[in-house]
Chain A
C-alpha cells in the first residue's frame, strides 16, 4: 500500500519530504545540544581539576573525595534534606487544608481562593524572602518590633535567620502550588465514591480514612514529592536566610564554591551532581507513583457536584484562617515592601515615619540608566526566550505526538531533561561548558538566553503537547488528502490549531523567565543584568529603599503580565494551568 502511494504521489510530495527531515534533523540537534552537552560536561568537570592559566585540567577523583570526606558535606546533606522535608510537609499541610476548605466545605470567599493560583507568579522568590526578612529579622523585622512593644518582650521572638525561618518562608511560598495540586486531586475524585460509602453506613471519619485518603494517596505522594524536588533546588531562601546564619544547603554551597577565590568549580560540579541525583531520584519515584496511580483515575459519569460539608458557624472560623493566610502570603509582604520603598532610610512604621514619606526611592530607580537597561534586558530576554521555546516546542511535540519516527521518545526525554536540573545547577553546567569551550558567548547576553531556553523548554513543551494531543489525526489527514504538502499542512492546519496552547505557553514562559534568578546569577555580567539580579545586587549593597521601590514596580509589572495572560486565556479558550 505504501509503495503505491509513493508511486502515484506528485513530484511536489517528494520535495516536501526533504523539508520535513531537515526540520526534524535541526530540532534534534538543537535539543541535544541544549540538554545533553552541559549535562555531560558537568559530569566530566566533576572528575577533573579546574583548568587554570598555569595548569591544564587533569582527571581526579579529588573533588568527590573532598565532597564525601569533608564533614561539612554531611552537614550540607542533612541541612538540605531537613530543609526540603520540613518545607514540603508544611507546604503540603497548608495547601491541603486550604484545598479541603475550598473544595469540600461551604467556606465563604471561594473566589479569593482562586487568586492563590496567580500569587506565586506575581511575587517571585527573592522578593518574598526579602519582604519576610523585613518582617521577621531580629534586628529590623516589623513583627518583632511590634511584638516586643505590645507584649513588652526583651528579645525579638522571631528569628528568620534560622532553619525554622527558612522552612516557614519557603513553605509559605510553595503552598499555593500544593493548594493547586491537591485542589485538582479533590476535584478529580468522583464524589459518588464517598457517597456510596456513606449510603453503605460509614461515618464521615471512616469514609475519610478508608476511602478518601486511600484514593488520594497517589495525589498526596505526587504533591509531596513535587514540593520536595522543588525545595531541594530552591536557591533564594537558603542564600538569603541560611548563609547569614551559617546554614548551608547544596544550592547555597554551590554558589559559595563558585564565588570563592580561587573558584572551586570542580567542587561545585560534584555538589551539583549529588543534587542532581537527589532531584532525579525524586522525579523517578514520583513518575512511578503516577503510573500506578492511574488505575485510581476515576471517570466521572454525569459529574454531580460534590457534596460540600456544611460547617455551620465554623465556616467563619475557616474563612478567618484563610484571610490570615492571605495576609501572610500577599498582603504583608507587599505592604512591607511598599512601606519601605516610601522611606528615606528603612524604619518601622510609626506616625513619625509617616511624615517622612518620600518618592526618592522611585526617583532613583526610574532615573538610573543601568536599571532601565536591566528592565529592557529582562523584557527582551523573556520575549526572545518565550518565542524560541514555543517554536522549538511546536516542532518537538509534533515529532513526538504525530509521527511514528523511531526514537522519538528519546527526543521527548531529552527535551524534558532540563526539568531535573535545579536552576542553579543548570547555570553551573552551562557556565562550565562555555568557559571551557569558548565560543565567545560567555559573559554575554546569549549565554543567558541559551540557559533560559534550555530551562524553560520543558514547560513550553507541556503546553504545546497538551494542545497537540487534542488535534485529531483526521484534521491533518484531510489536509493531506486535499493535496497539501507536509509543510503546508503544518503551517496552515497544525500551527493555527496549536495556537491556543502556543499562546498560553508563550505567555507562561515569558512570565516565569522574567522573574528568574538562580540560573542567571552565575551567568550574568555587567550590562547584562536582569531585574532579579539588580534586586540581588541592591540587597547585597544594603540599598533597601531603592530595592523596595524596584520590587513594588516589578510586582506591578508582573500583575499586568498575568492579567494579560488571563485575558488571552479567555480569548483563546485556554483553561488556566
Chain B
C-alpha cells in the first residue's frame, strides 16, 4: 500500500553543514500493517517519516501510496502535505491550546477539501472521541488535559478524517512508564481494529517488538535490517542490530573448521571451543562474533547430567535480583557474560558455575571493527 523507494533527504544544520539524514531508504508496507522505523537518535527515522508526510522535501526517491505517487523526484511530483490525507501524531502531540477538545478534533473536518455538514462533523468527532475515551471532555479547554489525555486527543484528531495512512512520531515517549505500557495495548488494539496502515517511529525496541508487523532498524540514515519482530530479535544481521534490539553477549572467535554439508562450524573463542550453526558462508581463519542472548545462557551448579557440546566452567562474578528474573554475570577465562535465569538459581558470588550454550541459539556474525 505504501512504497518508499530510494529515498534521500538532507538538510542544512545550524552550523551550515549538510546532514544526509536519510540515505537510500526503501521499504514496502502492505495494507493494514503497522511498520516501525526503529533506531537511536539521529538515525533518520523521523526524517523519513516527515518525508512521507511531506513536511520535508527529499532530494531523490519515490513515495507512492496505493499506486499514486505523492513524491517522485524524477517526474518532479510533490504533493503538498495538506493534500495527502495522512493522519499524523507528533511527539509533542501539538494540541492547540486556544481550542477545546472538540474543536481540536473537528479541525481536520472543517479545513479539508471535503465539506461536511455540522451534524456530520459532530457525529464523526464524538465517535472518534468515544473510541479514545475522551467524549466526556469534549468541551474542556485542551490545555487542561493530562499528558495521556493529550496523546489520545492527538490520535483522535489524526483518525477523524479517516486517513489512508497513519503516521506516529514517538507518540509514547513523553508518557511515564506505567501509562506507556497501557497505551501500547490501546494503540495496538485501535490499529488492528481499524486495520489502518501505520508507520511508527520509536527508539524504544520493546515498543517496536510489541506493536509491529514489521520493523526496519535504522542507523546513520540507512536501513540496516527489515524483518518481523521475531526475525529481528532472533536473527540480527549485524552487531548493531543484535545489540540495539534486546541485550546480547558478544563473544569474539576465530573459525577453526567448517562442515559445509551439515552447515556447522567450530570456532575458537574467548570462552573456549564453540560449536555453532553456519548461516552465512564463513571460511577457516575468519574472525567472527558469536552472539548469545542472556536468556539462552543456561546455568547450573553441578555438571549437567547429559553431555553438551558447548559446556564451560566459570565463576559467578555478580548477581542482580530483578524480581521476576535473576541476572548473573559469569566469568569464563577473562570474558564476563550476562545470563538471565529464573530467581530460584541460588549460586553465590565467587562460586563455580556450569554454563551451557545450545548451538542453535548462537548467532554468528562477521566481526566488525
> Chain A: residues with CB nearer than 8 A to chain B?
190, 192-193, 195-203, 206, 210-211, 214-215, 295-296, 298-302, 304-305, 307
Contact = CB atoms under 8 A, between A and B. Distances in A.
Nearest to B11: A305
Contacts of A193: 94, 96
Contact of B143 (A197, A211, A295): A295
25 contacts: A190-B92, A192-B94, A195-B81, A195-B88, A195-B90, A196-B94, A196-B96, A196-B157, A197-B107, A198-B80, A199-B55, A199-B86, A199-B87, A199-B88, A200-B108, A201-B82, A201-B83, A201-B113, A202-B82, A202-B107, A203-B82, A215-B97, A300-B92, A301-B174, A304-B46
Interface in B150-186: 154, 157-158, 161, 167, 174
Given A190-B92, A190-B94, A296-B97, A198 B157 contact: no
A195 B55 contact: yes
Contacts of B83: 201
Given A201-B83, A215-B98, 8 more contacts: A192-B92, A195-B81, A199-B167, A203-B111, A300-B92, A301-B92, A304-B46, A305-B14
Contacts of A214: 98
Contacts, number: 83
Nearest to B97: A296
B112 interface: yes
Interface in B305-338: none
A190 B14 CA distance: 18
Contacts of B148: none
A239 to B, nearest CB: 43
Given A201-B82, A304-B46, A307-B55, A296 B111 contact: no
B91 interface: yes
B96 A201 contact: no
A201 B112 contact: yes
Given A206-B111, A295-B97, A296-B97, A199 B92 contact: no
B59 to A, nearest CB: 14
B216 interface: no
Interface string B66-97: 00000000000000111111111011101011
B111 A201 contact: yes
Interface in B85-133: 85-88, 90-92, 94, 96-98, 107-108, 111-113
Given A192-B92, A295-B143, A199 B97 contact: no
A202 to B, nearest CB: 4
Contacts of B161: 200-201
Contacts of A301: 90-92, 174
Given A201-B82, A201-B85, A195 B94 contact: yes
B162 to A, nearest CB: 12
Contacts of B143: 295
B53 to A, nearest CB: 6
Contacts of A192: 90-92, 94
Contacts of B53: 199
A296 B97 CA distance: 6
A200 B113 contact: no
Contacts of A196: 88, 90, 94, 96, 154, 157
A299 B90 CA distance: 13
Nearest 8 A/B pairs, CB to CB: A301-B92, A200-B108, A201-B112, A196-B94, A192-B94, A202-B111, A192-B90, A199-B88
A198 B90 contact: no
A301 B96 CA distance: 15
Nearest to A204: B82
A200 B86 CA distance: 8
B85 A198 contact: no
A197 B87 CA distance: 11
A198 B55 contact: yes
**A196, A197, A199, A201 — most chain B CB neighbours (10 Å):** A199
Contacts of A202: 82, 107, 111
A305 B50 CA distance: 12
Nearest to A201: B112
Contacts of B158: 199
A210 B107 CA distance: 10
Contacts of B157: 196, 200
A197 B80 CA distance: 13
Contacts of B81: 195, 198-199
Contacts of A203: 82, 111
Contacts of B88: 195-196, 199
A215 B107 CA distance: 15
B234 to A, nearest CB: 32
A201 B94 contact: no
A451 B149 CA distance: 54
A200 B99 CA distance: 15
A198 B98 CA distance: 17
Nearest to A197: B107
A200 B107 contact: yes
A211 B161 CA distance: 19
A301 B150 CA distance: 14
A190 B92 CA distance: 9
A337 B167 CA distance: 59
B51 to A, nearest CB: 12
Interface string B34-65: 00000000000010000001010000000000
**A201, A298, A305 — most chain B CB neighbours (10 Å):** A201
A551 B192 CA distance: 74
A200 B98 contact: no
B102 to A, nearest CB: 14
B124 to A, nearest CB: 13
Contacts of B14: 305
**A190, A200, A201, A298 — most chain B CB neighbours (10 Å):** A200
B43 to A, nearest CB: 13
B237 to A, nearest CB: 29
A304 B90 CA distance: 11
A187 to B, nearest CB: 13
Contacts of A200: 82, 107-108, 111-112, 157, 161
Contacts of B55: 195, 198-199, 307
A368 B120 CA distance: 83
Contacts of A295: 97, 143
A299 to B, nearest CB: 7
Given A195-B55, A200-B111, A296 B98 contact: yes
Interface in B1-47: 11, 14, 46
Nearest to A215: B98
A454 to B, nearest CB: 39
Contacts of A299: 92
A54 to B, nearest CB: 64
